[in-house]
Amino acid sequence: MTDLTKGWGRKIRLASVPVLLLGLAACATPFRADVSRFQSQLPAPQGESYFVVADDPALAGGLEFAQYADLVEAQMASLGYAQAASAEDASLLVRFDYDVDKGRERVRSTGFSDPFYSPWYRYRARTGFYRPRYYSSRWGYGYYDPWFGGPEVRSYTVYTSGIDMKIDRAATGERLFEGKAEAISTSNRLQYLVPNLVEAMFTDFPGNSGETLRISIAPEKTTVRRVD
């Protein structure tokens, strides 16, 4: 391999780095949670205690549920409610549930596969010469290019996740609060989804009854290993 060839190879590898980073940045977009809440005379925190229970009996006693219940307990405590030692000792029962579906496929066109293609340039078909977009209308967009490939079509999976939370008066069973938070994302990891959905649920809690809010959730952090 000549020095010139080596030089070109190095330039191509370096040019690919920004493209890779751009792709990762595009994947790291936040998903948005739709939060709906209803309440009926939810009592003020003073003098009230709570205990978080699984709304789905299949989750009761599980270590995973306990981890997510801790998140709800922390939010309730931050509002001023006192955590009871057991459900029998609580004045409020917080019924909590979470889930994520099996996902569904989506298809998206990502534009031209060539890493050097830019929509900011126009292409003159007769000479193959590129000019900036602001040149006259005699220059057409570079959608026809005899050297570069066409648009890439990629498929990916999206998942719908959600949490349900209900607060009942322990002594009477009266329903005081109902809330749902749902989101669509490319992640199905409950360890990532549930904490963010809980945070969305308690944003401006308890909110206006019957109002649905769309709250942005932070993107999942991805660790990329470099292989030389």
Query: Where are the domains positioned within the chain?
Result: 31-105+155-217, 114-149
In order, the DSSP letters of 76-105 are: HHHTTPEEPSSGGG-SEEEEEEEEE---EE
Q: Which two tokens stand for residue 24?
A: 């990762």
* CATH, domain range 31-105+155-217: 3.30.160.670
Average pLDDT, the chain: 75
Each residue's pLDDT tens digit, 87-142: 999 999 999 999 999 988 887 766 554 444 444 434 344 444 444 443 333 334 44
Residue predicted with more confidence, 142 or 176:
176
- Find the helix packing angle between 190-201 and 63-78, rounded to 10°: 20
Dist. CA 126–CA 128, nearest whole Å: 6
- Check residue 29 and give its pLDDT: 59
Higher pLDDT pick, 167 / 139: 167
Residues 122, 132: Cα–Cα separation, whole Å = 6
Determine the Cα–Cα distance for residues 43 and 168; give it in Å rounded to an integer.
Answer: 11
pTM over 0.75: no
Residue with tokens 């939060």: 35
Predicted confidence (pLDDT) per residue in 30-48, tens digit? 668 899 999 988 899 999 9
CA dihedral 205, 210, 36, 59 (to 10 degrees): 90
